[in-house]
Amino acid sequence: MSPAPGSDAVPGPEPAVPTREPAPTRNRNRTFSSLGVRNYRLFATGSVISNTGTWMSRITQDWLVLGLTGSAAAVGVTTALQFLPMMLLGLYGGVIADRYPKRRLLMITQASMGVLGLALAALTLSGTVQVWHVYLIALLHGMVTVVDNPARQTFVAEMVGTRDVRNAVSLNAANFQTARLVGPAVAGVMISAVGSGWAFLANGLSFAAPLAGLLMMRDSELHRVPRVPRSKGQLREGLAHVAGRPELLWPIVLVGFVGTFGYNFPIWLSAFADGVFHAGAGTFGLLNSVMAAGALLGALLSARRTTSRLRMLVGAALLFGLLETAAALSPSLWLFALLLVPIGMLGMTFNTTANASVQLAADPAMRGRVMSLYMMVFMGGTPIGGPLVGWVTDTYGARAGFLAGGLVAALAAAVVGLVLVRVGGLRVEVGLRKGAGRSLVRFVPKGTGESGEPGGGTGSPPAAEPSTEPRDGTPAARDGADEGLAGRLKG
Tell me the average pLDDT across 282-297.
82
pLDDT of residue 491: 47
Tens of pLDDT, residue by residue over 416-426, are 988 888 876 65
Mean pLDDT over each residue of the chain, to the nearest integer: 77
Q: At 144, which amino acid appears?
A: V
Tell me the average pLDDT across 285-311.
78
Band (pLDDT 50/70/90 cuts) for residue 123 is very high
pLDDT of residue 176: 79
pLDDT of residue 52: 92
Tell me the average pLDDT across 204-212.
95
pLDDT of residue 117: 94
Name the more confident of 387 and 416. 416
Band (pLDDT 50/70/90 cuts) for residue 478 is very low
Band (pLDDT 50/70/90 cuts) for residue 5 is very low
Q: Which of 214-223, 290-299, 362-371 has the lowest mean pLDDT?
A: 362-371
Band (pLDDT 50/70/90 cuts) for residue 233 is low
Tens of pLDDT, residue by residue over 62-101, are 888 988 888 877 887 887 788 788 778 878 888 888 888 8
Range from 8-17, 142-151, 164-173, 473-482 that averages highest in pLDDT: 142-151
pLDDT of residue 321: 94
pLDDT higher than 90, residue 195: no
Give the Cα separation of 148 and 368 in Å (integer). 11
Tens of pLDDT, residue by residue over 152-168, are 888 888 898 777 777 88
pLDDT of residue 22: 41
Band (pLDDT 50/70/90 cuts) for residue 227 is low
Band (pLDDT 50/70/90 cuts) for residue 6 is very low
pLDDT of residue 181: 72
pLDDT higher than 50, residue 275: yes
CB 166 within 8 A of CB 356: yes
Torsions phi, psi of 91, nearest 5?
Answer: -65, -35
pLDDT of residue 408: 93
pLDDT of residue 228: 63
Tens of pLDDT, residue by residue over 429-443, are 555 555 545 554 555
What's the chain look like in SS3? CCCCCCCCCCCCCCCCCCCCCCCCCCCHHHHHHHHHCHHHHHHHHHHHHHHHHHHHHHHHHHHHHHHHHCCHHHHHHHHHHHHHHHHHHHHHHHHHHHHCCHHHHHHHHHHHHHHHHHHHHHHHHCCCCCHHHHHHHHHHHHHHHHHHHHHHHHHHHHHHCHHHHHHHHHHHHHHHHHHHHHHHHHHHHHHHHCCHHHHHHHHHHHCHHHHHHHHHCCHHHCCCCCCCCCCCCHHHHHHHHHHCCHHHHHHHHHHHHHHHHCCCHHHHHHHHHHHHCCCCHHHHHHHHHHHHHHHHHHHHHHHHCCCCCHHHHHHHHHHHHHHHHHHHCCCCHHHHHHHHHHHHHHHHHHHHHHHHHHHHHCCHHHHHHHHHHHHHHHHCCHHHHHHHHHHHHHHHCHHHHHHHHHHHHHHHHHHHHHHHHHHCCEEEEECCCCCCCCCCEEEEECCECCCCCECCCCCCCCCCCCCCCCCCCCHHHHHCHHHHHHHHHCC
Band (pLDDT 50/70/90 cuts) for residue 280 is confident
